[in-house]
Structure 1
Amino acid sequence: MSSAEIRNRFLAHFEARGHTVVPSASLLLDDPNLLFVNAGMVPFKPYFLGQETPPYPRAASVQKCIRTPDIEEVGKTTRHGTFFEMCGNFSFGDYFKEGAIELAWELVTRPQADGGFGLDESILYPSVLDGDDEAIALWKKVTGLSDDRIVRLPPKENYWSMGVPGPGGPCSEILIDRGPEFGADRDWDAGDRYLEFWNLVFMQDELSAVRSKSDFDIAGQLPKKNIDTGMGLERVAYLLQGKSNMYEIDVVFPVIEKTMALTGKAYGAAYDDDVRFRVVADHVRSSMMLIGDGVTPGNEGRGYVLRRLLRRAVRNVRLLGYDDPALPELLPVSRDRMGESYPELHADWDRIAQVAFAEEEAFRKTLQAGTQIFDLAAGEVKRSGAATIPGQKAFALHDTYGFPIDLTLEMAAEAGLQVDEEGFRQLMAEQRERAKADARAKKGQHADTGVYRGILDEHGPTEWLAYETLETESRALAVLQTGAPVRSLAEGEVGEVVLDRTPFYAESGGQVADAGVIEFDGGRLEVLDVQRPVRGLVVHQVRVVEGELAVSTAAATRGLHAKVDPEWRTGARQAHSGTHIVHAALREVLGPTALQSGSYNRPGYLRLDFGWLNSLSPEQVHQIEEVSNHALRADLPVGWQYMTLGEARDWGALALFGETYDDQKVRVVEIGGPWSRELCGGTHVDHSSQVGTIVVTGESSVGSGNRRIEALTGVEGFAYLARERDVVSQLTSMLKTQPDDLVGRVGDLVERLRQAEKEMERIRMAQLLAAGGDLAARAVDVNGVKLVTHRVDGAAAADVRTLALDVRGRLPGDAPGVVVVIGAVDGKVSVVAALNDAAQARGLSANDMVRTVAPYVDGRGGGKADVAQGGGTDSSRIDEALAAVSAAVAQA
């Protein structure tokens, strides 16, 4: 049974039983505790934490997941993979233990001819939390299994929590006996014999005082009991396809087959090679899925994980003996296999390929540079008489230069050396522990939304009217300060107000919140910010400008008049629509692979981040601006409509990477029909001409593989152009020319200035060299050596060196000659010593001369016997330094 068929059967089974099928969320969600979605329940976490009201009582999904803590173990076991798909069914206060057990057992054991998985009941073993008698009784009731077929496991195995205060509960696993060749009979921890492929979490407890994932207090029962299950698609696939591990299933093994064809190596012939084959297959798929969801290679966070995956894949292909670019050969194989379930991989292939292939090319250059660095390290070790490259060197190669430890070990063996692997592993462990400490520190970042949740439960959602009006008559549902309810806010105080209805736009989708005021009898509030701490509730941060806001008065009637600043809203609409227009223009100029990865807009200003590997040329930036303004002049209609997420995708609407969208209803904003269609909840103009103008003010890098365009719109854009006009006017007046001739006139002036500077440099060098003849003529005989010591203020290192070499060349060659010149400019000291052959034959060295000077100028330096140079930071003792040189020559 193919992986796609397993997925389809899972979803069809639960959809037929009243579950809403929810598409996989992006691997990137806005969660402070996670780099990536690492479990099927993550997109539903706000429902389990009580932060949001679930829009359906039961759901099912097949969620893309990434886990990378054990990346070094990938390929060594059947359990470790970075990318996987988690099939899950979820109940939000609907069915509980019995329903979850019935639904899982039915699908697992129903014959394949009837749409099930057809697993043999005789080799299936449900597990429960030891002491969960209710679950034991239910498993017996539903399955008819005998008591000895129910496995009791400790809390470490069968109690689920997120490691933070909130929901938790016992769980049940479904284990399958793979036979005695995989481990001992009824030894539940014996290797891979009793393989868990489905976990049913019975979320029933409220956890408090959480000290770790397995150490906490149970404060009581949840008001609503929930179900969260996870069935590993890859595990079920290799069970049903008769394979021994996840790397040999239909969506992974073709990459191994292609790698065999490239390398000439055989899978199954040698353990080390098999590990490499598996790493390649896993990492190629994981990298492709990450790029597909908008990640680009970088040096930190998500980008670093992707970079590491791609480079490990390339490295392992190389270790298998293939040195040519590998990803152009392997990535399309993975795309063709995964594309049946994720058709967007085909639609977005050009961008995915561009990012991946560029990273491989960069890594190939890194390997070349790293090899040179390794050779230096190996040479140092050999010269010292040792035989082991220190762990610190290996770690620096790995961490600083991206040079893989496996390659270091391989090259060290070829050089007859060893590597201090223990020292390297210790440094790696310390780095991982620092990362874990950072992750633990983030555990406290869950916002305490309980007070907002209570307001929502009591009063219902805010009537949000930002699309319809700029003013509402409203009633205060709550007044808060520092997260807690208060009776009143006095003049000058800052707090939060929740209204029953509001015209204010809450910050979202890159658009800042509206500005404005809330007025009441005898007072006025300035609105500082507007947010949605929980879905459905709009909260206004305010400062009391006049009067006192008393809860009893504000809540009694609709006596609050909420007013959005119309100028602010106009500017915000212009900037947000302008962002969509620039995005469409960007794609028209650069091609469809230039996709927005983030945005920010406020009245009169927008910035748009997009995935792109190279800086844009001035011509490309001009084209983007020109296309944008042509769209404004065309007065394109701007409209929006609501539809399902699937309909929006079919319609060609673009979604922002990492954003979460409502599966039931999304808002699609279009400008000029299909020219620009994006999922967006922001406020917009009615026609493109109302944006006024779009003036691109900058294009820059914001990290590896990401660029940023900044622009001004509306009045701010016109003001910017007016300032430029004023500058042009002033310059034309100063230079007595016409605007059209200004560039040429300034170019002429710049060229004349450049020529004048060259002439001044020529004269200066002539004067400097002229002084060389005089210095050589005034050489002093010291102990049979022609010595020239000279101080030249205002001379930098290059001038000092030129003068010293010129003076040396003018000294007679048959007598020992020593020249030491010291220059000083802006507090920096430059020293150059130059000796002729006769002086070197006498036993003198330029190196020694520089070392003599160094202590006096608080510096250092070195070189060869004939020429050496250095620098320092203390110019107050230059004369003493030159005297010390004379003394040293006299004693030689």
Structure 2
Amino acid sequence: METAEIRRRFMAHFEAGGSVGAHTPVPSASLLLDDPNLLFVNAGMVPFKPYFLGQETPPYARAASVQKCIRTPDIEDVGKTTRHGTFFEMCGNFSFGDYFKEGAIELAWELVTKPVAEGGFGFAESRLHPSILAGDDEALALWTKVTGLPESRIVRLGPKENYWSMGVPGPGGPCSEILYDRGPEHGPDADWASMGPAMDPRLEDRYLEIWNLVFTSDDLSAVRSKEDFDIAGPLPSKNIDTGMGLERVAFLLQGKQNMYEIDVMYPVIERAEQLTGRRYGADPGDDVRFRVVADHVRSSMMLIADGVTPGNEGRGYVLRRLLRRAVRSVRLLGYGDESLPELLPVSRDLMGVTYGDLVTDWERISRVAYAEEDAFRKTLASGTQIFDLAAGEVKQSGGRRLGGDRAFALHDTYGFPIDLTLEMAAEQGLEVDEEGFRGLMAEQRERAKADARAKKGQHADTSVYRGVLDAHGPTRWLAYETLETESRAVALLREGAPVGSLAEGEVGEVVLDTTPFYAESGGQVADAGTIESGGATLEVLDVQRPVRGLVVHQVRVTSGELDPASALLARVDPQWRTGARQAHSGTHVVHAALRQVLGPSALQSGSYNRPGYLRLDFGWTSALDPDQVREIESVAQQALREDLPVGWSYMTLAQAREEGALALFGETYDDQQVRVVEIGGPFSRELCGGTHVDHSSQIGTIVVTSEASVGSGNRRIEARTGVEGFAYLARERDVVGQLTTLLKARPDDLVGRVEEMVSRLRAAEKELERARAAQVLARGAELAAGAAQVGAVKLVAHRAEGLTGGDVRQLALDVRGRLPAGEPGVVVVAGVADGKVAVVAATTEAARDRGADASAIVRAVGEVVGGRGGGKADVAQGGGTDVSRVDEALGLVPTEVARQVGG
């Protein structure tokens, strides 16, 4: 059964609903959600977290979805087991205070065991083993009732396997799994009765979990670990959250051995076989690499599709690592040319059947991926040089083992994969301290886990806001209609707790029944303004929506004392709102102009706008040239000149997509109704909840002030709008005026005059450089003539005031060349300039024959002057910051030379 058919049957089963009623089909959310605890959506329930946490009221009682997910903690194990993959799809059904354990068990068992001809998956009951939380007698009784299985077939496991929580106070509950017995060839028979509360690791490959049913019923007051938590009491309503692994079910129904061999992944392996000449199934090591390729190519593509670009931290780092591991694996399989252009389109064709954006957005997706492969190939080239240097030092010292710290530095600093380090070390007859490397990697992972654990503790407690919402209902929000409302305070808060009043000078939060203030959202900052009563004036500092439907104002009492019983006047600063509208509409115009100039693949990946200023981030792999920037600005200005009408309407998300409306990566939109903002009809059509001008001419002007990189594959445009835009142009006009006065030139002649001056300045600098070089070289003969004798070696150790690195090197080499031919000679020059030390050591061939090593000399000097250095035996260079110890360092040189040459 093809993966697409499994997905279809799952959704059809729950849309029908059986005895509990139809489920609302919910499309997969983006892999990126605004959640401080998660880099990526890592489970099917994540988009529903606000409902489980009580932060929002679910719009449906029952739902079903097939959610895109990414998990990367076990990335090193990808390809080694049947269970570890980075991208996967989680099929889930959810109940929000509707059906509970019995309904969930009935629905799952029916779909899993129903014959294929009747729309089910057709798994044999004899191979299925339900599991429960040990002590959950209710679940035990329901499983025997629904399935007719004897109690001996039902596995009792402890909370490590069968209790679910989010790792923080909040909802939790016992679980039930459905395990599939793959047969004795995959492991020993299970003795469920004597196994105890923990699953025997030897059974995990044989008894494969295909579905987990979570019965969310407990309110947890503390969660110390997976098995250690406090239950404060029952939840107000019991919920169901289930997850069925699509890939796991697919490889079982397709008769495959693991997820990498299913219909939507294996063709990538087949293409890799064609490229490399290797055969899947012929060598266990190669098989792991083939699986890594299949998994990582797909995962990378899905991440890029959802707006991630390669980078050095966070989501971007995960993507970079996946892409580079895929490229590395193909290389280790024997294919050294560019591989992603051969592999990524195969995955696109397989996954594009379900996710059409992979096809429509292919130009951008492929450009980002291919640029990263090009960058990695360059990294491999530079990393190879670093490796060769490290390997040479090991050999020179007589060793046969590359240290774990060097291997880790290659991996962590230069992105050099350990597998490649092992391969290249073997080619040179060296070993690698893998144990040391793995230890350093483990330390790094532990630091990352500690950071993750720390972040989990930052889950925002919105219970107080939820209480206000439940008590008073949603805020009547009139930001689109007016700048001023008569309002009533329904809650006053200070430091997260309710208070009776706010005194002069205090900062707190006010929740109004009605407000004209725009709450920060979609890149637009919150409105500024005031809230006034008869005896108090409050400055509005910020406006947020901590829970859906509730608008909260952070305020400072500038005079009087706020009494919640008083009538209030909430007033938005009109100048602030005007500037904000201009900037937000200007962002849409710049985005449209950007796509018109660069093409439809130049999609916005983030934005920020405040009165008079906007910035827009977009996916692009190369810098824009000045002509492109000017053209973008010109298209934007033309849109303003044409006075395009600006309007908005509400429609379903599906309708918006049919209309061609653009959505921002990572944003969450209501499936029932979204707001579509149009500027000039098809010129700009985007999903947006911000405030806007009525006609494009009201933006005033758009002046692009910068274009720069904000990470690999991501660029940023900044611009000024409205009065601030004109002020920016006025400042530039003033600068031009000052230059014309200084240079006594007309504005049109300024560029030529400046170019002429720069050319003359460069010529003068070159002449000075030649004079300085001649001065430096003139001292070479004198220094060579005054060389000291250290045993058989002529030694020059000289402090050169005012010389920097290039001059120091030139002087050292010149002096070496003036020493007697064929005799051992060593030259060490320490230049001192600008509070820094530059050291160069140079040796003659005769000195090296006696054991002299310039690199060792530079390291010895560098240690004294607070720095380091390196190079080769003939010439080495270094530096330091402790100028006060230069003479001391040079005084050690004769001893070091004598030690090296034995004289």
TM-score greater than 0.5 by the shorter chain:
yes
Are the aligned partners of 2:618 and 2:715 in contact in 1 as well (CA < 8 Å)? yes
1:453 to 466, 469, 476: 466
- Please tell me the residue identity of whatever aligns with 1:336: D
Is 2:532 aligned against 1:519? yes
In the TM superposition, residue 576 of structure 1 has moved relative to its aligned partner by: 0.6
2:98 to 79, 94, 97: 94
Is 2:584 aligned against 1:576? yes
Residue of structure 1 equivalent to 2:658:
650
Using the TM superposition, name which of 395-404 and 723-732 deviates more.
395-404
Using the TM superposition, name which of 413-422 and 626-635 deviates more.
413-422
Residue of structure 1 equivalent to 2:10:
10
Give the secondary structure class of the aligned counterpart of 1:367: helix
Using the TM superposition, name which of 91-100 and 371-380 deviates more.
371-380
Provide the C-alpha distance between the structure 1 equivalents of 2:7 and 2:23, rounded to a whole number of angstroms.
Answer: 15
1:488 to 496, 501, 504: 501
Superimposed CA distance per residue, residues 203-229 of structure 1 (whole angstroms, 9 cap, x where no aligned partner): 001112211122101111000100001
CA pair 810-164 structure 1, distance change in 2 beyond 3 A: closer
- Please tell me the residue identity of whatever aligns with 1:623: E
Residue of structure 2 equivalent to 1:49:
53
Superimposed CA distance per residue, residues 154-208 of structure 1 (whole angstroms, 9 cap, x where no aligned partner): 2222221122111111121222333333333444642433322111111001112
Residue of structure 2 equivalent to 1:133:
137
Give the secondary structure class of the aligned counterpart of 2:224: strand
Provide the C-alpha distance between the structure 2 equivalents of 1:182 and 1:834, rounded to a whole number of angstroms.
Answer: 65
CA pair 733-25 structure 1, distance change in 2 beyond 3 A: same
- Please tell me the residue identity of whatever aligns with 1:327: L
Residue of structure 2 equivalent to 1:612:
620
- Please tell me the residue identity of whatever aligns with 1:448: D
CA pair 356-550 structure 1, distance change in 2 beyond 3 A: same
Give the secondary structure class of the aligned counterpart of 1:490: coil
Is 2:409 aligned against 1:396? yes
- Please tell me the residue identity of whatever aligns with 1:15: E
Superimposed CA distance per residue, residues 395-454 of structure 1 (whole angstroms, 9 cap, x where no aligned partner): 222222222222222233333332222222211111111111111011111111111000
Provide the C-alpha distance between the structure 1 equivalents of 2:850 and 2:366, rounded to a whole number of angstroms.
Answer: 66
Q: How does 1:13-52 map to 2 (within 5 A)?
A: 13-17=13-17, 18-52=22-56
Give the secondary structure class of the aligned counterpart of 1:329: helix
Is 2:187 aligned against 1:183? yes
In the TM superposition, residue 151 of structure 1 has moved relative to its aligned partner by: 2.9
Residue of structure 2 equivalent to 1:697:
705
Is 2:292 aligned against 1:288? no
CA pair 264-709 structure 1, distance change in 2 beyond 3 A: same
Are the aligned partners of 2:535 and 2:562 in contact in 1 as well (CA < 8 Å)? no
Provide the C-alpha distance between the structure 1 equivalents of 2:887 and 2:303, rounded to a whole number of angstroms.
Answer: 64
Superimposed CA distance per residue, residues 560-619 of structure 1 (whole angstroms, 9 cap, x where no aligned partner): 111100000000000011111111111112222221111110000011111122222222
Are the aligned partners of 1:776 and 1:808 in contact in 2 as well (CA < 8 Å)? no
Q: How does 1:449-848 map to 2 (within 5 A)?
A: 449-551=462-564, 553-554=565-566, 559-762=567-770, 794-796=802-804, 798-799=806-807, 824-828=832-836
TM-score (norm 1): 0.91
Give the secondary structure class of the aligned counterpart of 2:297: helix
Superposition RMSD in Å? 3.6
Superimposed CA distance per residue, residues 755-799 of structure 1 (whole angstroms, 9 cap, x where no aligned partner): 3444455556666777889x6999899999999999875454555
1:438 to 426, 445, 451: 451
- Residue correspondences, number: 884
Provide the C-alpha distance between the structure 2 equivalents of 1:815 and 1:308, rounded to a whole number of angstroms.
Answer: 53
Provide the C-alpha distance between the structure 1 equivalents of 2:591 and 2:283, rounded to a whole number of angstroms.
Answer: 51
Give ranges in structure 2 of 5+ residues lacking alignment.
193-199, 898-902
In the TM superposition, residue 341 of structure 1 has moved relative to its aligned partner by: 0.9
Give the secondary structure class of the aligned counterpart of 1:514: coil
CA pair 842-231 structure 1, distance change in 2 beyond 3 A: closer
CA pair 413-13 structure 1, distance change in 2 beyond 3 A: same
Superimposed CA distance per residue, residues 243-271 of structure 1 (whole angstroms, 9 cap, x where no aligned partner): 22211211111111112222222222222
Provide the C-alpha distance between the structure 1 equivalents of 2:121 and 2:850, rounded to a whole number of angstroms.
Answer: 92
Give the secondary structure class of the aligned counterpart of 2:66: strand
Residue of structure 2 equivalent to 1:208:
221
1:269 to 253, 263, 282: 282
Are the aligned partners of 2:160 and 2:226 in contact in 1 as well (CA < 8 Å)? no
2:146 to 138, 142, 148: 142
Residue of structure 1 equivalent to 2:206:
193
- Higher Rg of the two aligned structures: 1
Give the secondary structure class of the aligned counterpart of 1:507: coil
TM-score (norm 2): 0.90
Are the aligned partners of 1:513 and 1:529 in contact in 2 as well (CA < 8 Å)? yes
- Please tell me the residue identity of whatever aligns with 1:67: R
Provide the C-alpha distance between the structure 2 equivalents of 1:81 and 1:834, rounded to a whole number of angstroms.
Answer: 54
Provide the C-alpha distance between the structure 2 equivalents of 1:748 and 1:884, rounded to a whole number of angstroms.
Answer: 51
Give the secondary structure class of the aligned counterpart of 1:8: helix
Using the TM superposition, name which of 320-329 and 201-210 deviates more.
320-329
In the TM superposition, residue 661 of structure 1 has moved relative to its aligned partner by: 1.0
In the TM superposition, residue 883 of structure 1 has moved relative to its aligned partner by: 11
Give the secondary structure class of the aligned counterpart of 2:438: helix
- Please tell me the residue identity of whatever aligns with 1:548: E
Are the aligned partners of 1:162 and 1:213 in contact in 2 as well (CA < 8 Å)? no
Is 2:115 aligned against 1:107? no
Give ranges in structure 1 of 5+ residues lacking alignment.
none
Residue of structure 2 equivalent to 1:413:
426
Provide the C-alpha distance between the structure 2 equivalents of 1:151 and 1:842, rounded to a whole number of angstroms.
Answer: 76
- Please tell me the residue identity of whatever aligns with 2:587: T
Provide the C-alpha distance between the structure 2 equivalents of 1:159 and 1:794, rounded to a whole number of angstroms.
Answer: 70
Provide the C-alpha distance between the structure 2 equivalents of 1:786 and 1:182, rounded to a whole number of angstroms.
Answer: 74
CA pair 459-823 structure 1, distance change in 2 beyond 3 A: closer
Are the aligned partners of 2:297 and 2:344 in contact in 1 as well (CA < 8 Å)? yes
Q: How does 1:55-454 map to 2 (within 5 A)?
A: 55-187=59-191, 189=200, 190-454=203-467
Provide the C-alpha distance between the structure 1 equivalents of 2:183 and 2:793, rounded to a whole number of angstroms.
Answer: 92
Superimposed CA distance per residue, residues 730-779 of structure 1 (whole angstroms, 9 cap, x where no aligned partner): 22122222211221122222223333444455556666777889x69998
Provide the C-alpha distance between the structure 1 equivalents of 2:160 and 2:831, rounded to a whole number of angstroms.
Answer: 72
Provide the C-alpha distance between the structure 2 equivalents of 1:852 and 1:309, rounded to a whole number of angstroms.
Answer: 41
CA pair 747-549 structure 1, distance change in 2 beyond 3 A: same
CA pair 288-852 structure 1, distance change in 2 beyond 3 A: closer
